[in-house]
Amino acid sequence: MPVARRHLCPTAGRSGAKMAALGLPGIRSLNYIMLPISLLYSQRPGGRGGQVFLGPYVGWLLGGTYRSTVGSARGTAVSGGTTTSGEVRAGDTYATSYRDTNYYLRRLDAGLQAGVGYGVEALQLQASFSLGLHNVGAAYAPNASNYYEAPVIRHYGFQVSAAYLFNPKG
């Protein structure tokens, strides 16, 4: 039963999310650096053959952009809505100024990642699913006079990757 000693692979990723779940129809692009630490099982030594892996990950928000349309029946500015766009920035609370058009998320994300793959010589192909366990939604500032609860946001995503291993040991 070959089990890889370690599977440490820092990755940079870009993810998108529909904002309709937050009551803000639109699209948001997020840029993260993610560090998954997975236990990998492979059919043969050196990561060759079929693979299954599972483990935690930690993600660090670098930033992003968003565009949203609110106040319309169909989610478009043509039907009477107002379109706003801006940057996604790291912050534990939303800004208190109405002039601030930035969207805030907590910088740190953490969760679980599981996937399958296949290794041929030094080439690795993998597909994985990530599920965030940490709420990355920013809280409303205490003096913001906001009577609503801050959104609870947890990331999830699917990714496909290809890698080349230098000096693989078999």
CA R_g for the chain: 20
pLDDT tens profile 114-153: 999 999 988 999 999 999 999 988 887 776 666 777 778 8
- Give the number of other CB atoms < 10 A from CB of residue 66: 21
Confidence of residue 7 (pLDDT cuts 50, 70, 90): very low
Cα 25 from chain centroid (whole Å): 19
Output the pTM of the full model: 0.71
Give the integer Cα–Cα distance in Å for 153 and 66: 15
